[in-house]
Structure 1
Amino acid sequence: MAARGMLFFLATEKRVLRLRIKLLYLSVTRKRVASATGTQVPG
């Protein structure tokens, strides 16, 4: 039972990490595009 809980926790952690990486990538890309075009992007 404890092992199953740990497995679920790890799976959730992996999903959260993936989402966080995706958000970080998106924000970096947005900033790069903004600096390339010379427009100011909030955030």
Structure 2
Amino acid sequence: MSTQPAKGQLQQLRHDEQQAGPAVARLLRAAAPAAERVLG
């Protein structure tokens, strides 16, 4: 089994993370007040 496909997969995953980063951050900021109400 070669390590090359896994490496490509990892790079793709990292790329996806960078693309999703801002959207996830926005989602977390939007959810934070509701979570604080529920938890607090």
TM (norm. structure 1) is 0.49
Pairing 1:1-43 to 2, within 5 Å after superposition: 2=1, 5-28=2-25, 31=26, 42-43=30-31
Aligned residues: 29
Moved segments of 4+, more than 6 Å: none
Between Structure 1 and Structure 2, which shows a larger proportion of helix residues? 2
For structure 2, which runs of at least 5 residues remain unmatched after alignment? Answer: 32-40
Q: Which residue of 2 is the match for residue 38 of structure 1?
A: none
For structure 1, which runs of at least 5 residues remain unmatched after alignment? Answer: 32-40
TM (norm. structure 2) is 0.51
Identity of aligned residues (%): 0
Calculate the aligned-residue CA RMSD, in Å.
Answer: 2.0
